[in-house]
Chains A and B, each alone.
Chain A
Amino acid sequence: NAGVTQTPKFRILKIGQSMTLQCTQDMNHNYMYWYRQDPGMGLKLIYYSVGAGITDKGEVPNGYNVSRSTTEDFPLRLELAAPSQTSVYFCASTPSPNSPLHFGNGTRLTVT
């Protein structure tokens, strides 16, 4: 198993541009999450999903959108990028709420 795979690893965006951060997992996990990690800070939950077709907002959803059309994929969409969205983004998955999270390697995004 590859686990949780995130692409791209790095990206620089100009203010106002849009992009999609990709996340895919091959472990057949129902639960998937997107976190952002600002420098020197802990992770904050952006969106999560409990299964295909179901998504919900986390602590910091503004400026982001997600979709979950399949169990494997959970892309995160940034519309109208702002400097405040400069961060490292981690996708994670788990088979059940009581199991540990499996994190991807992260996407480092800079908005200038």
Chain B
Amino acid sequence: GENVEQHPSTLSVQEGDSAVIKCTYSDSASNYFPWYKQELGKRPQLIIDIRSNVGEKKDQRIAVTLNKTAKHFSLHITETQPEDSAVYFCAASRGSSGSARQLTFGSGTQLTVLP
């Protein structure tokens, strides 16, 4: 099955700096890569996702890049703010229309933005 590794497990940055979180996956057939943000005691919430036919996607201060050859994808947060502090999870899955996606999650990165 799929295996997703996520690094680093903890990351501290100064407010205004950039943060980068990296994930690698093992199943070359995986074609969907979402990122979730989870605040303490809350449910995971999707912040951005990318599909295997795209190399990069941006949404304001957040971007995700995908390298299918190397089987890794990264989350980039620019101009970090204290409210970006949370645990971030990457995930990967294969799947197509009509079949359920079984997401495999990374172990998470605790991001702390220092004021």
List A residues at the B interface (Cβ < 8 Å).
31, 33, 40-45, 48-50, 56, 58-59, 90, 94, 96-98, 100-101, 103-106
Interface of B, helix, strand, loop or mixed by DSSP: loop
Find the B residue at minimum CB distance from A106: B43
Flag B5-34 by CB within 8 Å of A: 1 or 0 each.
Answer: 010000000000000000000000000101
In contact, A31 and B100 (Cβ under 8 angstroms): yes
In contact, A45 and B44 (Cβ under 8 angstroms): no
In contact, B43 and A105 (Cβ under 8 angstroms): yes
In contact, A97 and B96 (Cβ under 8 angstroms): yes
In contact, B89 and A42 (Cβ under 8 angstroms): yes
In contact, B102 and A58 (Cβ under 8 angstroms): yes
CA distance A106 to B102 in the complex (A): 19
In contact, B34 and A100 (Cβ under 8 angstroms): yes
